Every structure is written in C-alpha cells, then in structure tokens.
C-alpha cells in the first residue's frame, strides 16, 4: 500500500497555493506532437543540375511548367499574327467587282487574316518550347532522357489508333496533358476504359 502511494506522489506534484491548498499537476505528457506539414514546391533547375537522373514527380512537374510556358506564348503569338494580317490585308487596294478565287475580296482577305492568327497559334508552342529550352538548357540532357522513357511508356499503354473513330478519338493520344502522377494514373484508366468499349461494344 505504501509503495503505491509513493509511486502516485512521484507521478504528480503537490503545489500549495493561496486560493487552493492542494493542486495536483500532471506529469509532462508523452503524446507525440504533430509534425508541421511540408509544402511541396516545384524543383528548381539549379537544384537539379547535379542529379544523374530525374524522378518521375520532378520530371512531370517540369513538364507541366513547360506546357504552361507554351500556352502562355501561344496567346500573344496568335494576337500578333492577327494584328499583322489585319494590317497587311487591310491596306491592300481592293476592287469589289473583281473576285479572288471566286470569292468576294473582303471575305477572302478576312479569311487570310484569320489564317494569320491560326499560323501564330501554331507557331506559339514551338516558340514557347524554344524559350523554355534556352532558359533551362542546364537540365536538357536529363529532360531528353526522361522524355524518351516517358514516350516509350505512352506508346506501350495507349490504345491502338486503329480502334478509334472520327467521332470518338482516343483521349490524349500523345499524353500531352499529363503533368503529375495522378494525371498519369487517370490517363491509364481512360485508355483501359476506351479499349474495353472498343473491343467489347455494348449491345
């Protein structure tokens, strides 16, 4: 009995205060404190220069950033093409009585102006990719190696193009929209679902 009382006194501290004669203080809790949450950030090119290879999360994050740059450059490139086309074709001397390829000149020049905007939109991703490669030239060898592995996986797991139809194409055939492991797994599920529907059509 005395041993139990002694153990209880060692586990608690008796403090005498003015208002409360006896206050039992609990010993320090041994419950593990929660660890602070870590914030995942995109890897910087400077931190990746010394690496022999890229991990898949790092590669996909860089690839997502590259796609954003291409999209960002496409918008001003389209507007530039539209502006240059409007300035050129808008200043041409036009005779409304003379058709061009059987089309009214104003409609023809309008179509050509829209064609210039389309050419700018097509050139935008190429320009954006060139700018990105110049800015990240220190990790191009790592990216090119990982690109080769990535497209091998895409070619291996995507649906055969012969199974698609003009009204129902294969979703993201080249895997251009993949920017994370979650999106890659979703892409695999979409390919498998499309393949099942193509090989086993519902009656």
State the Cα–Cα distance between residues 40 and 56, nearest whole angstrom: 15
Q: What is the pLDDT of residue 22?
A: 42
- Give whole-number Cα distances, 202 to 3, 170, 179, 193, in Å: 78, 18, 32, 13
Among 45, 66, 49, 42, residue whose Cα is nearest residue 147: 66
Write down the domain spans for the chain: 54-139, 158-202
> pLDDT digits over 145-154, tens only?
999 999 999 9
Q: What is the pLDDT of residue 201?
A: 63
30 CB neighbour count, 10 Å cutoff: 5
> pLDDT digits over 87-145, tens only?
988 888 777 778 777 778 888 888 999 999 999 999 999 999 999 999 988 899 999 99
- The residue ranking higher by pLDDT, 50 or 25, is 50
Q: What is the pLDDT of residue 49?
A: 54
Across the range 59-77, mean pLDDT stands at: 93
Q: Does pTM surpass 0.75?
A: no
Q: What is the pLDDT of residue 47?
A: 57
Instruction: Give, in degrees to the nearest 5, the angle at Cα 143 between 69 and 77.
Output: 20
Question: pLDDT confidence of 202, banded at 50, 70, 90?
Answer: low
Across the range 27-44, mean pLDDT stands at: 50
């Amino acid at each position: 009995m005395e041993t139990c009382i002694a153990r209880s006194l060692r586990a608690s501290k008796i403090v005498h205060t003015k208002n409360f004669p006896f206050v039992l203080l609990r010993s320090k809790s041994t419950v593990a404190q929660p660890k602070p949450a870590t914030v995942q950030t995109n890897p910087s090119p400077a931190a990746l220069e010394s690496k022999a290879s890229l991990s898949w999360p790092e590669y996909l994050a860089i690839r997502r950033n590259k796609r954003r740059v291409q999209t960002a450059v496409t918008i001003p490139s389209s507007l530039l093409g539209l502006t240059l086309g409007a300035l050129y074709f808008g200043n041409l001397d036009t005779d409304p009585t003379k058709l061009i390829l059987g089309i009214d000149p104003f409609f023809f020049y309008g179509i050509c102006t829209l064609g210039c905007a389309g050419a700018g939109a097509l050139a935008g991703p190429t320009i954006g990719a060139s700018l990105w490669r110049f800015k990240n030239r220190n990790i191009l060898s790592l990216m090119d190696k990982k690109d080769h592995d990535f497209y091998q996986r895409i070619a291996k797991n995507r649906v055969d193009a012969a199974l698609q139809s003009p009204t129902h194409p294969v979703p993201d055939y080249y895997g251009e929209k993949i920017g994370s492991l979650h999106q890659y797994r979703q892409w695999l599920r979409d390919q498998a679902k499309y393949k099942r529907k193509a090989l086993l059509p519902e009656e």
